[in-house]
Amino acid sequence: MPILENDWIKINYTGRLKENSKIFDTTLEEVARKEQVFDEKRGYNPLLCRAGDEKFLIPGLARQLVGMELDKPLKIEIPVKDAYGDRDASKIEMVPTKKLRKANLDPRVGNRVQLAGRNGTIIWAGGGRTRIDYNHPLAGKDLVFDVTIIEQLAEVEDIQKEIISRRLPGVNLEEITIETSEEPKTVVISLPNYLIFMEGLAIAKYTLGTDLHEFLEFEVVKFQDVFDYQKKEEPTEEDPAKEEDPPSEE
């Protein structure tokens, strides 16, 4: 059955530049290793998205998912206008190198930096000045994606868990409890205590709450940190059944 617009799905994909077939992203670890682009700092997992929804994917790819079928790979070509758009010369700026150093940023060509809340790539440095390109790294590029839809999610509880996993990567979903109620539509998420050490937890909770409100229409999102100090009783072996004494002979 074809995937409909706004269906929740999980996909595997590999994205390449059309001009030279160079991989820029993949959800498949085996592909990353084979193509020698493996990054141990990131995870390789299927991507949760909603078919046709450009909040999850670039426009050209999001739209192409509508009408696809489960487990049927498809090669999709995305032109510049439906990907990251044309390069904009006005987004290339020259800044004093000392400004980068004050922000503890390394002004070497090729480095990605964040300055004044903007992400860019250093494309030139010299004479006390640094040129930063604030265009998206894939701006001006035609792209090609190999995509497979591996799962369609129909149950609301499954969608909730996948959205949580998206914002709290690496968390064991079996350790999370989700309770919902109506009037107002509320979700209470109980999180295991080890997550308090997670870097960026406050931001993750904020974006997770926003997702649950925007996509599943929850009006109230609550988080609970659970500290369970109960001792779990270890199962004890049952005493072997006592054998009855054999009847005495009279």
Among 11, 33, 49, CA closest to 163: 49
State the pLDDT confidence band at 169, using cuts at 50, 70 and 90: confident
What are the structural domains of the chain?
8-84+141-153 (3.10.50.40), 89-133 (2.40.10.330), 156-226 (3.30.70.2210)
Average pLDDT on 208-223 reads 94
**DSSP state, 135?**
S
pLDDT at residue 237, as a whole number: 61
- Report pTM: 0.79
Mean pLDDT is lowest, of 85-89, 154-158, 163-167, 234-238, for: 234-238
Mean per-residue pLDDT for 20-36?
97
Residue 247 is predicted with a pLDDT of 55
Confidence of residue 250 (pLDDT cuts 50, 70, 90): very low
Res. 236: pLDDT tops 70? no
- Between these two residues, 240 and 161, which has the higher pLDDT value? 161
196 pLDDT more than 90: no
- Checking 2-6 for CB contacts under 8 A at 24+ apart, the result is 2/66, 2/67, 2/68, 2/69, 3/51, 3/65, 3/66, 3/67, 3/68, 3/69, 3/70, 3/149, 3/152, 4/51, 4/66, 5/51, 5/52, 5/66, 6/50, 6/51, 6/52, 6/53
Task: Say how far apart CA 224 and CA 206 lie, in whole Å.
Answer: 14
